Amino acid sequence: MEYGASQLISNPSTYPYQGLKEDGQQQVQSTVITLGPNVTQVRDHLPWSIFNFFYLNFCCLGFVALVFSIKSRDRKVVGDVEGAQHYASTARALNIAIAVLASLAV
Query: In which band, very low, low, confident or very high, does the pLDDT at 79 lie, cut at 50, 70 and 90?
Result: confident
Q: CA 51 → CA 18, 55, 61, 83, distances in Å?
A: 62, 6, 12, 23
Beta-bridge mates of residue 20: 27
Do 84 and 75 touch, CB atoms closer than 8 A?
yes
Residue 23 has a pLDDT of: 58
6: burial class by Cβ within 10 Å (0-12, 13-18, 19+)?
exposed
CA 105 to chain CA centroid, Å, is 38
pTM value? 0.62
Task: Give me the mean pLDDT over the 45-61 stretch.
Answer: 92
